[in-house]
Amino acid sequence: MLIQTIKAEVVDMALDERKRRILQAIVQDYITSAEPVGSRTIARKYDLGVGAATIRNEMFDLEIQGYLKQPHASAGRIPSVKGYRFYVDCLLEPKTILPEEQKMVEDWIRSRMNGMDQIFSSTAKVLAEITHNAIFVMASQQEQARLKYIRFLPLDERRAIMLVVTDSGHVENCLYAKPEKVSLDDLNRLAVHLTRYLAGKTMSEIDLPTLENIRDVVIDDPALYRNAFASLEQALKKNHRVYKEGTLELFDKPEFRDVHKAKNLLVSLEEQDVVNHLFVGKSEDSGMVTVRIGEEVKLPPIQECSVIEATFTAGNDVIGKIAVLGPTRMEYARIIGLLNFMKEHMKQILIQYEQEK
Protein backbone atom coordinates (compact mmCIF):
# COMPACT_ATOMS: atom_id res chain seq x y z
CA MET A 1 0.00 0.00 0.00
CA LEU A 2 1.26 3.46 -0.90
CA ILE A 3 -0.22 6.51 0.80
CA GLN A 4 0.92 9.96 -0.15
CA THR A 5 1.32 12.46 2.69
CA ILE A 6 -0.01 15.89 1.79
CA LYS A 7 1.15 17.76 4.88
CA ALA A 8 4.57 19.28 4.42
CA GLU A 9 5.86 18.79 7.97
CA VAL A 10 7.29 15.40 8.90
CA VAL A 11 5.12 13.44 11.34
CA ASP A 12 6.85 12.80 14.65
CA MET A 13 7.96 9.17 14.59
CA ALA A 14 9.13 9.18 18.22
CA LEU A 15 5.94 7.83 19.82
CA ASP A 16 6.70 4.70 21.78
CA GLU A 17 4.80 1.48 21.23
CA ARG A 18 2.32 2.03 24.07
CA LYS A 19 1.36 5.51 22.89
CA ARG A 20 0.98 4.21 19.34
CA ARG A 21 -1.38 1.45 20.46
CA ILE A 22 -3.43 3.83 22.58
CA LEU A 23 -3.67 6.38 19.76
CA GLN A 24 -4.68 3.64 17.33
CA ALA A 25 -7.37 2.39 19.72
CA ILE A 26 -8.76 5.91 20.22
CA VAL A 27 -8.89 6.64 16.49
CA GLN A 28 -10.58 3.33 15.70
CA ASP A 29 -13.08 3.67 18.54
CA TYR A 30 -13.96 7.25 17.64
CA ILE A 31 -14.40 6.33 13.96
CA THR A 32 -16.93 3.70 15.03
CA SER A 33 -18.77 5.52 17.81
CA ALA A 34 -18.48 9.23 16.95
CA GLU A 35 -18.21 9.80 20.71
CA PRO A 36 -15.18 11.09 22.67
CA VAL A 37 -13.16 8.16 24.00
CA GLY A 38 -12.23 7.77 27.67
CA SER A 39 -9.45 5.80 29.32
CA ARG A 40 -11.88 3.30 30.85
CA THR A 41 -13.33 2.52 27.42
CA ILE A 42 -9.86 1.82 26.06
CA ALA A 43 -8.93 -0.34 29.06
CA ARG A 44 -12.16 -2.33 28.77
CA LYS A 45 -12.32 -2.83 25.00
CA TYR A 46 -8.64 -3.15 24.05
CA ASP A 47 -6.12 -5.56 25.53
CA LEU A 48 -3.24 -3.14 26.05
CA GLY A 49 -1.88 -4.75 29.23
CA VAL A 50 -2.21 -1.59 31.35
CA GLY A 51 -4.96 -0.10 33.52
CA ALA A 52 -7.17 2.93 33.00
CA ALA A 53 -4.93 5.20 35.11
CA THR A 54 -1.88 4.51 32.95
CA ILE A 55 -3.91 4.95 29.77
CA ARG A 56 -5.24 8.26 31.12
CA ASN A 57 -1.69 9.53 31.70
CA GLU A 58 -0.64 8.47 28.21
CA MET A 59 -3.71 10.16 26.73
CA PHE A 60 -2.76 13.36 28.53
CA ASP A 61 0.74 13.17 27.03
CA LEU A 62 -0.74 12.56 23.55
CA GLU A 63 -2.94 15.62 24.02
CA ILE A 64 0.05 17.76 25.05
CA GLN A 65 1.90 16.53 21.92
CA GLY A 66 -1.06 17.51 19.72
CA TYR A 67 -2.32 14.06 18.69
CA LEU A 68 -5.54 14.24 20.73
CA LYS A 69 -7.91 16.98 21.79
CA GLN A 70 -10.66 17.25 24.38
CA PRO A 71 -13.97 18.71 23.16
CA HIS A 72 -14.89 19.84 26.69
CA ALA A 73 -13.55 19.36 30.20
CA SER A 74 -15.66 16.37 31.23
CA ALA A 75 -15.33 14.51 27.91
CA GLY A 76 -12.91 11.92 26.70
CA ARG A 77 -10.50 12.62 23.85
CA ILE A 78 -10.88 12.66 20.09
CA PRO A 79 -8.15 12.60 17.44
CA SER A 80 -6.74 15.87 16.12
CA VAL A 81 -5.68 16.29 12.49
CA LYS A 82 -2.14 15.43 13.62
CA GLY A 83 -3.47 12.30 15.32
CA TYR A 84 -5.37 11.17 12.23
CA ARG A 85 -2.30 11.89 10.10
CA PHE A 86 -0.08 9.72 12.30
CA TYR A 87 -2.70 6.98 12.22
CA VAL A 88 -2.97 7.05 8.41
CA ASP A 89 0.77 7.27 7.78
CA CYS A 90 2.13 4.97 10.48
CA LEU A 91 -0.56 2.75 12.00
CA LEU A 92 -3.16 1.99 9.37
CA GLU A 93 -3.45 -1.27 7.46
CA PRO A 94 -6.03 -1.30 4.64
CA LYS A 95 -8.95 -3.61 5.35
CA THR A 96 -9.91 -6.44 3.03
CA ILE A 97 -13.15 -5.76 1.19
CA LEU A 98 -16.13 -7.63 2.66
CA PRO A 99 -17.72 -10.52 0.68
CA GLU A 100 -20.99 -8.61 0.15
CA GLU A 101 -19.05 -5.56 -1.05
CA GLN A 102 -16.99 -7.74 -3.37
CA LYS A 103 -20.23 -9.13 -4.84
CA MET A 104 -21.48 -5.59 -5.49
CA VAL A 105 -18.26 -4.76 -7.33
CA GLU A 106 -18.34 -8.01 -9.31
CA ASP A 107 -21.98 -7.40 -10.29
CA TRP A 108 -20.91 -3.94 -11.41
CA ILE A 109 -18.12 -5.48 -13.51
CA ARG A 110 -20.50 -7.95 -15.16
CA SER A 111 -23.03 -5.26 -16.06
CA ARG A 112 -22.86 -4.18 -19.67
CA MET A 113 -21.36 -0.71 -20.02
CA ASN A 114 -22.50 1.32 -23.01
CA GLY A 115 -19.81 3.98 -23.17
CA MET A 116 -17.27 5.58 -20.88
CA ASP A 117 -19.84 7.93 -19.36
CA GLN A 118 -21.77 4.96 -18.00
CA ILE A 119 -18.61 3.31 -16.67
CA PHE A 120 -17.68 6.35 -14.60
CA SER A 121 -21.19 7.24 -13.46
CA SER A 122 -21.81 3.66 -12.30
CA THR A 123 -18.44 3.68 -10.51
CA ALA A 124 -19.57 6.70 -8.49
CA LYS A 125 -22.88 5.02 -7.65
CA VAL A 126 -21.42 1.73 -6.44
CA LEU A 127 -18.80 3.47 -4.30
CA ALA A 128 -21.37 5.78 -2.72
CA GLU A 129 -23.55 2.78 -1.92
CA ILE A 130 -20.64 0.92 -0.27
CA THR A 131 -18.94 3.78 1.59
CA HIS A 132 -21.93 6.00 2.48
CA ASN A 133 -19.76 9.02 1.68
CA ALA A 134 -19.76 11.55 -1.15
CA ILE A 135 -18.05 10.21 -4.27
CA PHE A 136 -16.56 12.28 -7.08
CA VAL A 137 -15.27 10.50 -10.18
CA MET A 138 -13.29 12.58 -12.66
CA ALA A 139 -13.14 10.98 -16.08
CA SER A 140 -10.05 12.17 -17.93
CA GLN A 141 -10.16 9.62 -20.73
CA GLN A 142 -10.83 12.41 -23.22
CA GLU A 143 -7.16 13.44 -23.04
CA GLN A 144 -6.06 10.22 -24.73
CA ALA A 145 -9.24 9.69 -26.76
CA ARG A 146 -8.85 10.55 -30.43
CA LEU A 147 -11.09 12.94 -32.24
CA LYS A 148 -13.43 11.09 -34.58
CA TYR A 149 -15.40 13.90 -36.19
CA ILE A 150 -16.89 17.36 -35.74
CA ARG A 151 -20.48 18.12 -36.66
CA PHE A 152 -22.85 21.08 -36.39
CA LEU A 153 -26.54 20.96 -35.47
CA PRO A 154 -28.92 23.90 -35.97
CA LEU A 155 -30.21 25.64 -32.86
CA ASP A 156 -31.66 28.99 -33.93
CA GLU A 157 -30.94 31.82 -36.38
CA ARG A 158 -27.89 33.05 -34.46
CA ARG A 159 -26.52 29.87 -32.93
CA ALA A 160 -25.62 26.30 -33.72
CA ILE A 161 -24.32 23.41 -31.63
CA MET A 162 -20.84 22.07 -32.34
CA LEU A 163 -20.47 18.37 -31.54
CA VAL A 164 -16.95 17.05 -30.91
CA VAL A 165 -17.03 13.24 -30.97
CA THR A 166 -14.14 10.97 -29.92
CA ASP A 167 -13.36 7.33 -30.61
CA SER A 168 -14.16 6.51 -26.96
CA GLY A 169 -17.79 7.43 -27.58
CA HIS A 170 -17.54 10.70 -25.66
CA VAL A 171 -19.50 13.62 -27.11
CA GLU A 172 -18.77 17.21 -26.11
CA ASN A 173 -21.18 19.88 -27.28
CA CYS A 174 -20.63 23.62 -27.32
CA LEU A 175 -22.63 26.60 -28.47
CA TYR A 176 -21.36 28.16 -31.70
CA ALA A 177 -22.19 31.82 -32.38
CA LYS A 178 -22.97 32.02 -36.13
CA PRO A 179 -21.57 35.03 -37.96
CA GLU A 180 -24.09 36.92 -40.09
CA LYS A 181 -25.17 35.28 -43.36
CA VAL A 182 -23.60 31.94 -42.41
CA SER A 183 -25.75 28.95 -43.34
CA LEU A 184 -25.79 25.43 -41.94
CA ASP A 185 -24.18 24.30 -45.22
CA ASP A 186 -21.27 26.66 -44.52
CA LEU A 187 -20.88 25.16 -41.06
CA ASN A 188 -20.99 21.63 -42.40
CA ARG A 189 -18.24 22.44 -44.88
CA LEU A 190 -16.19 23.86 -42.01
CA ALA A 191 -16.84 20.68 -40.01
CA VAL A 192 -15.60 18.52 -42.89
CA HIS A 193 -12.38 20.57 -43.15
CA LEU A 194 -11.75 20.51 -39.39
CA THR A 195 -12.39 16.77 -39.24
CA ARG A 196 -10.02 16.13 -42.15
CA TYR A 197 -7.13 17.82 -40.35
CA LEU A 198 -7.88 16.90 -36.74
CA ALA A 199 -9.35 13.37 -36.89
CA GLY A 200 -7.04 10.81 -35.27
CA LYS A 201 -5.35 13.34 -32.99
CA THR A 202 -5.75 12.91 -29.23
CA MET A 203 -7.63 15.65 -27.44
CA SER A 204 -4.40 16.63 -25.68
CA GLU A 205 -2.70 17.08 -29.09
CA ILE A 206 -5.30 19.54 -30.34
CA ASP A 207 -3.79 22.64 -28.79
CA LEU A 208 -3.47 26.29 -29.75
CA PRO A 209 -0.44 25.85 -32.10
CA THR A 210 -2.19 22.98 -33.92
CA LEU A 211 -5.31 25.05 -34.51
CA GLU A 212 -3.25 28.05 -35.62
CA ASN A 213 -1.34 25.88 -38.10
CA ILE A 214 -4.50 24.77 -39.89
CA ARG A 215 -6.21 28.16 -39.85
CA ASP A 216 -5.31 29.12 -43.42
CA VAL A 217 -5.87 25.71 -44.99
CA VAL A 218 -9.26 25.10 -43.40
CA ILE A 219 -11.26 28.12 -44.50
CA ASP A 220 -10.71 31.67 -45.70
CA ASP A 221 -13.50 33.31 -43.68
CA PRO A 222 -11.86 34.83 -40.54
CA ALA A 223 -15.13 35.25 -38.63
CA LEU A 224 -16.25 31.71 -39.36
CA TYR A 225 -12.94 30.25 -38.20
CA ARG A 226 -12.63 32.56 -35.19
CA ASN A 227 -15.97 31.39 -33.79
CA ALA A 228 -15.17 27.76 -34.55
CA PHE A 229 -11.83 28.18 -32.82
CA ALA A 230 -13.56 29.60 -29.71
CA SER A 231 -16.03 26.69 -29.61
CA LEU A 232 -13.28 24.10 -30.05
CA GLU A 233 -11.29 25.75 -27.28
CA GLN A 234 -14.36 25.56 -25.05
CA ALA A 235 -14.75 21.85 -25.83
CA LEU A 236 -11.10 21.13 -25.03
CA LYS A 237 -11.40 22.92 -21.68
CA LYS A 238 -14.08 20.39 -20.77
CA ASN A 239 -11.38 17.73 -20.69
CA HIS A 240 -12.56 16.46 -17.33
CA ARG A 241 -16.10 15.47 -16.51
CA VAL A 242 -16.97 14.84 -12.88
CA TYR A 243 -19.66 12.37 -11.80
CA LYS A 244 -21.02 12.93 -8.30
CA GLU A 245 -22.96 10.60 -6.02
CA GLY A 246 -23.74 10.28 -2.33
CA THR A 247 -23.59 13.89 -1.13
CA LEU A 248 -26.84 13.42 0.80
CA GLU A 249 -25.26 10.44 2.58
CA LEU A 250 -23.11 12.92 4.50
CA PHE A 251 -26.08 14.42 6.28
CA ASP A 252 -26.87 11.17 8.08
CA LYS A 253 -23.58 11.53 9.93
CA PRO A 254 -23.39 13.18 13.38
CA GLU A 255 -20.89 15.78 12.17
CA PHE A 256 -23.51 17.32 9.88
CA ARG A 257 -26.58 17.36 12.10
CA ASP A 258 -26.25 21.13 12.26
CA VAL A 259 -28.55 22.28 9.44
CA HIS A 260 -26.54 25.46 8.74
CA LYS A 261 -23.27 23.52 8.49
CA ALA A 262 -24.87 20.87 6.28
CA LYS A 263 -26.36 23.49 3.97
CA ASN A 264 -23.03 25.30 3.57
CA LEU A 265 -21.30 22.04 2.70
CA LEU A 266 -23.96 21.06 0.17
CA VAL A 267 -23.79 24.46 -1.53
CA SER A 268 -19.98 24.30 -1.65
CA LEU A 269 -20.04 20.89 -3.33
CA GLU A 270 -22.11 22.37 -6.14
CA GLU A 271 -19.31 24.80 -7.02
CA GLN A 272 -17.02 23.59 -9.80
CA ASP A 273 -13.90 25.18 -8.30
CA VAL A 274 -14.47 23.33 -5.02
CA VAL A 275 -15.02 20.02 -6.81
CA ASN A 276 -11.89 20.50 -8.94
CA HIS A 277 -9.88 21.16 -5.77
CA LEU A 278 -10.77 17.67 -4.51
CA PHE A 279 -8.40 16.27 -7.13
CA VAL A 280 -4.77 17.16 -6.45
CA GLY A 281 -2.89 13.93 -7.25
CA LYS A 282 -0.46 14.09 -10.16
CA SER A 283 -0.38 11.57 -12.99
CA GLU A 284 3.00 10.29 -11.84
CA ASP A 285 1.42 9.44 -8.48
CA SER A 286 -0.92 6.89 -10.10
CA GLY A 287 0.19 4.16 -7.68
CA MET A 288 -0.66 6.33 -4.69
CA VAL A 289 -3.73 6.75 -2.56
CA THR A 290 -3.70 10.39 -1.46
CA VAL A 291 -5.20 11.31 1.93
CA ARG A 292 -5.92 14.88 3.01
CA ILE A 293 -7.38 15.44 6.46
CA GLY A 294 -9.32 18.44 7.75
CA GLU A 295 -7.32 21.64 7.39
CA GLU A 296 -4.96 19.89 4.91
CA VAL A 297 -7.77 20.18 2.35
CA LYS A 298 -7.20 23.96 2.41
CA LEU A 299 -10.76 24.84 1.46
CA PRO A 300 -12.72 26.58 4.26
CA PRO A 301 -16.11 25.08 3.32
CA ILE A 302 -14.83 21.51 3.64
CA GLN A 303 -12.10 21.79 6.27
CA GLU A 304 -14.06 19.57 8.62
CA CYS A 305 -13.88 16.80 6.03
CA SER A 306 -11.25 14.45 4.70
CA VAL A 307 -10.59 13.50 1.08
CA ILE A 308 -9.16 10.17 -0.07
CA GLU A 309 -8.12 10.20 -3.72
CA ALA A 310 -7.05 7.41 -6.06
CA THR A 311 -6.04 7.41 -9.72
CA PHE A 312 -7.22 4.83 -12.27
CA THR A 313 -4.92 3.85 -15.11
CA ALA A 314 -5.13 1.71 -18.23
CA GLY A 315 -1.64 0.78 -19.37
CA ASN A 316 0.37 3.98 -19.08
CA ASP A 317 -2.64 6.26 -19.45
CA VAL A 318 -4.46 7.99 -16.61
CA ILE A 319 -8.15 7.55 -17.40
CA GLY A 320 -9.79 8.84 -14.25
CA LYS A 321 -9.60 9.76 -10.59
CA ILE A 322 -11.83 9.11 -7.62
CA ALA A 323 -12.20 11.32 -4.56
CA VAL A 324 -14.09 10.08 -1.50
CA LEU A 325 -15.22 12.93 0.74
CA GLY A 326 -16.45 12.40 4.28
CA PRO A 327 -15.99 13.65 7.83
CA THR A 328 -12.50 13.51 9.35
CA ARG A 329 -13.91 10.55 11.27
CA MET A 330 -13.72 8.47 8.09
CA GLU A 331 -13.16 4.73 7.89
CA TYR A 332 -9.73 5.30 6.37
CA ALA A 333 -8.59 1.66 6.46
CA ARG A 334 -11.79 0.38 4.87
CA ILE A 335 -11.99 3.04 2.16
CA ILE A 336 -8.30 2.79 1.20
CA GLY A 337 -8.66 -0.99 0.95
CA LEU A 338 -11.76 -0.56 -1.21
CA LEU A 339 -10.06 1.94 -3.54
CA ASN A 340 -7.07 -0.37 -3.98
CA PHE A 341 -9.52 -3.15 -4.88
CA MET A 342 -11.44 -0.91 -7.29
CA LYS A 343 -8.28 0.28 -9.02
CA GLU A 344 -7.45 -3.28 -10.06
CA HIS A 345 -10.98 -4.09 -11.14
CA MET A 346 -11.34 -0.90 -13.14
CA LYS A 347 -8.71 -2.33 -15.48
CA GLN A 348 -11.01 -5.30 -16.13
CA ILE A 349 -13.88 -2.94 -16.90
CA LEU A 350 -11.79 -1.03 -19.43
CA ILE A 351 -10.53 -4.21 -21.11
CA GLN A 352 -14.12 -5.48 -21.35
CA TYR A 353 -15.27 -2.17 -22.77
CA GLU A 354 -12.53 -2.11 -25.41
CA GLN A 355 -13.36 -5.67 -26.49
CA GLU A 356 -17.06 -4.86 -26.86
CA LYS A 357 -16.64 -1.59 -28.74
CATH value at residue 178? 3.30.390.10
CATH assignment of the domain containing 55? 1.10.10.10
Decide if pLDDT at 302 tops 80.
yes
Do residues 133 and 280 share a domain? yes
* Residue of 234 and 239 predicted with greater confidence: 234
pLDDT on residue 106: 79
- C-alpha distances (whole Å) from 238 to each of 139, 188, 343, 353 are 11, 23, 24, 23
Q: Domain limits at 29?
A: 1-91
Better pLDDT: 118 or 315: 118
pLDDT confidence of residue 23: 97
Mean pLDDT is highest, among 64-73, 78-87, 254-263, 298-307, for 78-87
106 and 38 in one domain? no
**Which whole number is the average pLDDT over 271-286?**
71
- Give the pLDDT confidence score for residue 354 in this predicted structure: 59
Domain stops at, among 205, 238, 271: 238
Domain check: are 31 and 73 in the same one? yes
> Which residue from 275, 305, 341, 277 is spatially nearest to 99, judged by alpha carbons?
341
Q: Is the dihedral of CA 92, 26, 41, 337 positive or negative?
A: negative
Note whether 253 and 114 are same-domain residues: yes
Model confidence at 38, pLDDT cuts 50, 70, 90, reads very high
250 and 224 in one domain? no
Query: Average of pLDDT values for 145-158?
Result: 83
Please say if the pLDDT value at position 6 is more than 50: no
Q: What is the CATH number of the domain that holds 347?
A: 3.30.450.40
Is there a single domain that holds both residue 128 and residue 256?
yes
Is the pLDDT at 325 greater than 90, yes or no?
yes
Task: Kindly state the average pLDDT of the residues 252-271.
Answer: 85
> What's residue 315's pLDDT?
65
Q: Which residues of 181-193 are buried (b: 16+ CB within 10 A; e: fewer)?
A: ebeeebbeebbeb
255 against 9, higher pLDDT: 255
- Predicted confidence at residue 1, as pLDDT, reads 46
Residue % of the chain over a pLDDT of 90: 34
| 26 has pLDDT over 60 | yes
- Comparison of pLDDT for 215 and 155, the residue scoring more: 155
Q: Give the mean pLDDT of 19-42.
A: 95
| Whether residue 78 sits in one domain with residue 57 | yes
String of b and e for 305-327 (b: at least 16 CB within 10 Å)? Answer: bbbbbbbbbbeebbbbbbbbbbb
- Asked whether 178 and 158 are in contact (CB, 8 A), the reply is yes
- Cα three-residue angle 174-175-181, rounded to 5 degrees: 135
Model pTM above 0.75: no
Do 253 and 341 share a domain, yes or no? yes
**Number of domains present in the structure of the chain:** 3
348 in the same domain as 256: yes
- Given 215, 238, 261, the domain boundary residue is 238
Q: Do 212 and 300 belong together in one domain?
A: no
| pLDDT recorded at residue 133 | 95
Residue 303 · residue 315 · CB < 8 Å: no
- Nearest to residue 224, comparing CAs of 274, 254, 189, 263? 189
DSSP state of 23: H
Instruction: Say if CB 84 and CB 68 are below 8 A apart.
Output: no
Mind listing the pLDDT tens digit for each residue in 97-133? 999 998 888 787 677 566 667 778 888 999 999 999 9
User: Got the DSSP string for 51-104?
Assistant: -HHHHHHHHHHHHHTTSEE-SSTTS-BEE-HHHHHHIIIII--PPPPPHHHHHH
The residue among 139 and 102 whose pLDDT is bigger is: 102
3-state helix, strand, coil in the chain (%, to 5): 50, 20, 30
d(CA 177, CA 228) in angstroms, rounded, equals 8
Query: Do 281 and 349 belong to one domain?
Result: yes
**Residues 123 and 254 reside in one and the same domain:** yes
Quickly list DSSP for 292-321.
EEGGGG--GGGTTEEEEEEEEEETTEEEEE
Check pLDDT > 60 for residue 282: no
Mean of pLDDT over the chain: 82
The last residue of a domain, from among 213, 238, 263: 238
DSSP string spanning 224-276? Answer: HHHHHHHHHHHHHHT--EEEEE-GGGGGGSGGG-SHHHHHHHHHHTTSHHHHH
Q: Is the confidence at residue 259, as pLDDT, over 60?
A: yes
Name the β-bridge partners of 160.
154, 176
